Amino acid sequence: MSTLGGWGGWGGWGGWGQSGPGGDAGPPMLPEALTQSRAALVGPFLGATIPFKLPPDLDQPDRLGEWDIQQRLQTCSVELLSGLYFASRDDAMTVGFVDLNSHTLERKPVVRLVRPTKEIFASQLELVSNYAELRETRASEIVAQTMPTQVPFWASIIGMQAYRQPWTQALAALALSMTVDVEMRLKHGFCCPRPGTLSPQIQPMVAVPGHGSWPSGHATETFMVATVLQALLQTHKPGARYHEQLQRFAARVAVNRTVAGLHYPVDSAAGRLLGTALGEFFVARCTGGEINKWGFDGHRFHGRQGALVDFDLRVSMTDGSSGYYTCEPVAWRVTEAPLLAWVWKKAAAEWK
């Protein structure tokens, strides 16, 4: 799993920072200097001399513009996670959504994952071992392609600048916060061992995260961001080239985690679908759009007669040809969340 700090910190978010006028703690003598300065300046206290008013209408989305980045994320995260639910049965878990503001509370599935078998994980270990041959040539990427330092990769693809598109970064940070929460809940539910647990010869090249292997968090997050950014850019900059490059980058990050010895290819395949489904859901929550029901059947992640299958970006997730990806065009509409919609509009306006 990756962290989110880079989306809030890359290039500077809060101007003076998140701890008040001094940003961080500042010079050790700053509190004493401010105290001395005030004592020399203020004179007799005169009470409230600056006019102010309380807003007559409560809970207006545009008030988000007044808060610090961390508080914006926390405020919006409550709205984003509200209504999500998890259900498990046998080897499968479903992530769904209930519109809590609706008069009729109806469960709507977003994505369903079926965990691979022990035999599939064991057979995939051969691919993990083979990928280790690429470690020397990809070491710098593997280390760099973790949040927060992953942000410059996205920026180089879409031409994002910290000072020009701050709301796009806020939108991505918000989407990532939801994605990490969902993926961690699923990792807990599926409880799949890392490759290094199955063989002492894997020997990962970086520290092994303290949570389950399946589905891949990095794959989920990168494909989710690719989905969200592509939808955002389509509002003013339509074109297939962004989609192509964003998808290729997400796939490379996913594969690099296998190279590092942290994930099986089946982890990346599931993460690709989960990230796409969550990205579609996030966009729908921001815009009031429609989504489909996505699925991944880990039992079927093999070729003819049980042959090994690698993660492959060229495999379609929508036409059913793979046997393990499914996409049902149920096209049910997700209710727009006002706070998320306001952030989305601010981000979209940055690409005019």
pLDDT of 161: 92
DSSP strand E in the chain: where?
84-89, 92-97, 108-114, 290-297, 325-333
Residues 158-168: pLDDT tens digits?
999 989 999 99
Residues 212-242: pLDDT tens digits?
999 999 999 999 999 999 999 988 877 678 8
Q: Would you place residue 5 in the very low, low, confident or very high pLDDT band (cuts 50, 70, 90)?
A: very low
Average pLDDT score over the chain: 90
Position of tokens 């990050």? 253
Domains of the chain: 75-349 (1.20.144.10)
Is the bond into 152 cis (omega within 30 degrees of 0)?
no
DSSP state of 20: S
Q: Considering only CA atoms, which of 185, 257, 181, 175 is closest in space to residue 224?
A: 175
* pTM as predicted: 0.89
User: Residue 74 is which amino acid?
Assistant: Q
d(CA 146, CA 128): 20
Q: Would you place residue 155 in the very low, low, confident or very high pLDDT band (cuts 50, 70, 90)?
A: very high
pLDDT of 21: 43
Q: How many helices (H) and strands (E) does the chain have?
A: 12, 5
Percent of the chain exceeding pLDDT 90 equals 73
Neighbours of 128 (CB within 10 A): 26
Question: Would you say 242 and 229 are in contact if contact means Cβ atoms under 8 Å apart?
Answer: yes
Task: Pick 64 or 188 by higher pLDDT.
Answer: 188
d(CA 224, CA 283): 10
DSSP lists the bridge partners of residue 93 as 88, 113
Residues 26-71: pLDDT tens digits?
788 999 999 999 999 999 999 999 999 998 889 888 888 888 888 8
pLDDT of 147: 66
User: 262 vs 149, 198, 205, 214, CA distance in Å?
Assistant: 19, 12, 9, 10
Q: Which residues contact 190 (CB under 8 A, 6 or more apart)?
A: 93, 113, 115, 212, 214, 215
pLDDT of 347: 96
| Ordered DSSP codes for 156-197 | HHHT--TTT-HHHHHHHHHHHHHHHHHHHHHHHHH-PPPHHH
Q: What share of the chain is helix, strand, coil (3-state, %, to 5)?
A: 50, 10, 40
d(CA 205, CA 260): 5
Q: Which two tokens stand for residue 54?
A: 């309380």
pLDDT of 239: 66
